Structure 1
Amino acid sequence: MTDRITLRAFFGDAERAFTLTDPMLTELERLTGLGTGALYAQLVNMAFPVQVLAQVIRLGLIGAGMTPEEAKHLCAAYAENRPLAEVFPLAFAILDARWSGVEVKP
């Protein structure tokens, strides 16, 4: 059950679901070479490598059920080569949903 860790947010041209499931967290750790806690601390302290933002978004989309191809396409269109001030809030919210959970509406 992933309701408590699924963020719903606007991305690109529609509202989408983002879930960093256990396999997606493992992949994020592999890609970044960091544990989840260290990565979270980097984002909180604004000390992250730029590619992490698109990776968090892409893996969140895949974890919520999107195909890897579609997630890659959306990130190429709406997360890469964009102002960091646009991309950071969503990437942080996705990781924070996994860290702190989200409120589930009845």
Structure 2
Amino acid sequence: MRDARIEQPFGDGTYPFRLGYGQITELQEKCDCGPMRLLSRLQSGDWKIEDVFETVRLGLIGGGIEPKEALKLAGRYVKDRPPLENHPLALAIVFAGLAGAPDETVGE
């Protein structure tokens, strides 16, 4: 089964990121758009800084990080950094959440 989990460098280490159904539902509420619209915004450059912050925060939670720790990490390594620095990570998290991780085999 594909779970859309990716491991990516972030801040002080490498972390698991995953957007499951619950995280995608919360993400669309926080970003006021559906997941495909969010993906389109991130791809086109028409994104908001909260799109990046919330994607990273919720991706950490979906990856197994406790919500308080995810908020702390996202605050330190997203809010306290230049916005463009984490844009590629947010794009990768949303894409994996919708299409599956690139190294997952379909049907497994």
What TM-score does the superposition give when structure 1 sets the normalisation length?
A: 0.90
Question: 2: distance between equivalents of 1:85 and 1:76?
Answer: 15
Shift of residue 99 of structure 1?
2.4
Structure-2 residue corresponding to 1:16: 15
Conserved 8 A contact 2:55-2:90:
yes
Structure-2 residue corresponding to 1:46: 45
Conserved 8 A contact 1:28-1:59:
yes
Shift of residue 81 of structure 1?
3.3
Question: 2: distance between equivalents of 1:79 and 1:33?
Answer: 20
Question: 2: distance between equivalents of 1:63 and 1:99?
Answer: 13
Structure-2 residue corresponding to 1:104: 104
Structure-1 residue corresponding to 2:70: 71
Percent identity among equivalent residues? 34
Instruction: Give the number of aligned pairs.
Output: 104
Structure-1 residue corresponding to 2:6: 7
Question: 2: distance between equivalents of 1:79 and 1:73?
Answer: 10
How much is the aligned-residue C-alpha RMSD, in angstroms? 1.4
Structure-1 residue corresponding to 2:25: 26
Gap regions ≥5 residues in structure 1: none
Indicate the SS of the match to 2:79.
coil
